[in-house]
Each structure stands twice: as C-alpha cells, then as structure tokens.
Structure 1
Amino acid sequence: MPLLQKELSFLEKSFDNSDKLAASISSNNVSWHIDHCLKVITKVCSSLISSNASEYKWKFNKWRFVIFLKGSIPRGKAKSPKQVLPPENIKIKDLKIQLKEVKLLLKTVEQLPLKNYFNHHILGKLHLKKTIRFLEIHTNHHIKIIKDIVKN
C-alpha cells in the first residue's frame, strides 16, 4: 500500500489548492476531487471489511482487465455513484477528518484475509489486492486531474 499512502500525501498537500478550478479540465474544483477520492476509499474499505471472504469467486470482466492492464481510467467516461459525491460546500476541516479516518481504515484493511472483496458496479468483485490496486488507479486518476487544474 505504499503507493496509496504516497497518493494520500499528495491529496493532503493539495488542500492548499482546494479552491482552484479550471473549467476546461474539470467542472469541479480541487477540493471536490480530494473529497471524492477520500469518500471512495472510505466506502471501498468499509465494503472490504464487511465482506465475507468465503463468498468471493473470481469471474472474468473485460473492463477490469483493460483498466488494470492500462493502469488508468479514461477521463469523462464514467459517472460517480451518488454515495461518493462530495457535498456542495467542502471544508478543509472536513477533508482533514476524512483523511484521518481513511488512514485508520487502511490499517484495518491491511489485516484482512486476501479473499475479502469489494464488488464494483462496473469491474465486478475485486479481492483485497485488486481492490487496493483499484484504489491506487482511481486516486491517481483524480491526482492527474488535480495536477492539470493547478498548472492551468
């Protein structure tokens, strides 16, 4: 999980640019992308923790294959589920609280059986290691957007 930890550090450093917006890059500002990433990690980790490892069964999924092979998510191709959408007004103090919670959740996730899983609405069931890789890919997707917003 070192890559995910590095990405979380980047998100934390991006708090300083939270109000930046570049409409040509994204209709959302930096804080939206940070909040979204943290919400995704929280929801996914909670799902991993509550999953039953004995229920995991691998099944081929072409979208998972492509995204994991490329190691990236194409921009503007998917909509975020409602439960991971940020609120209209995002406060830095709330981002800090979420970040702290995410770090604690990740420590719990590290102790889980390898067959605990997250059921993604497009990618299907992802066992623990694939779930961590998904979180890395997803977070990096938003980090690239944040970097483009800030440099614009």
Structure 2
Amino acid sequence: MNKLTELLNALESNIMFTEKKNPAVSESSVGWHIEHSLLTINLIIESLQKSNPANYKWKFNFTKMLVYTMNKIPRGRAKSPASVRPSLDFTAQTLQQHLAITRARIEELKNLQPNQYFEHPFFGK
C-alpha cells in the first residue's frame, strides 16, 4: 500500500504540469498520463474486488516473466485498452477529484482475500 500511496503522491505533485507535453517522451500531456494511471489503478481495484479467488490459477507467461525480470516495459509496443484511455475533457481540478477517489479505493484493497486477481490484457492472471 505504501508504494501505491507514494505513486499517488508523485502523480499529485505533477498535476500542476497537466498541460505540458514532451514529444520526445510521448504525444500525450502530463495530465493525460496522470488520468491514465488513475483510471488503470481504479479498474484494477474493481477487477480484484469482482474476482473469485477460487478461479485463480497461476499460468506461466513468457512475456510477463521477461518484463518482470528486466523490470522494464518496452515503449510503443502496445496501445492501452480503451477502458483506461482518458477522454480529453479533464482539468487539474478533475484530476484532483479523481485522485481523491483513487486514494479511497486503495483503502478498499485491505478487504481483499488471498488469490483475488486481476486479468491483465497481455500478461493474463
């Protein structure tokens, strides 16, 4: 939980740069990346809460193992799913509101059971 809290603090500290872009890094703005991160965290929490621990079964996934071993996700290899792609109507204020919602959702993780899982679109369960 502490790492997630640290991540949210880092995201919050960059909200002031919502409109900034660095084309060498991404075509999207800092705000877009913050909103994308918040949408992703919330969707994962929702998936964890809805999962049935009895259905969890570990399965080897070479791509997942490679990414975990290298501790790096290759850039530009895949597009994020539509469910975590932000609309363009966010502002610094709406990012702050979404951040508050995400902080509350993270607290809900304490109520999860062992083996509740999230099915990643590329890495699986």
| Matched residues, number | 125
For residues 53 and 118 of structure 2, the distance between their equivalents in structure 1, rounded to whole angstroms, comes to 10
Q: How does 1:80-91 map to 2 (within 5 A)?
A: 80-91=80-91
What's 1:54 paired with?
Answer: 54
Query: Letter of the aligned partner of 2:117 in structure 1?
Result: Y
Structure 1 SS opposite 2:89: coil
Alignment deviations for residues 82-113 of structure 1 (CA, whole Å, 9 cap, x no partner): 01101112211211121111111111112211
Moved more, 29-38 or 96-105: 96-105
What's 1:66 paired with?
Answer: 66
What's 2:45 paired with?
Answer: 45
Q: How far did residue 64 of structure 1 move? A: 1.2
What's 1:101 paired with?
Answer: 101
Of all paired residues, the percent bearing the same amino acid is: 34
Structure 2 SS opposite 1:119: coil
What's 1:129 paired with?
Answer: none
What's 1:140 paired with?
Answer: none
TM-score (norm 2): 0.95
TM-score (norm 1): 0.79
Alignment deviations for residues 40-66 of structure 1 (CA, whole Å, 9 cap, x no partner): 001010000111111101000111111
Structure 1 SS opposite 2:118: strand
- Show structure 2 runs of 5+ residues with no match: none
> Which structure dedicates a bigger proportion of its chain to helix?
1
Moved more, 47-56 or 97-106: 97-106
What's 2:21 paired with?
Answer: 21
Moved over 6 A (4+): none
Q: How far did residue 74 of structure 1 move? A: 1.4
Query: Letter of the aligned partner of 1:15 in structure 2?
Result: I
- Show structure 1 runs of 5+ residues with no match: 126-152
For residues 72 and 104 of structure 2, the distance between their equivalents in structure 1, rounded to whole angstroms, comes to 26
What's 1:35 paired with?
Answer: 35
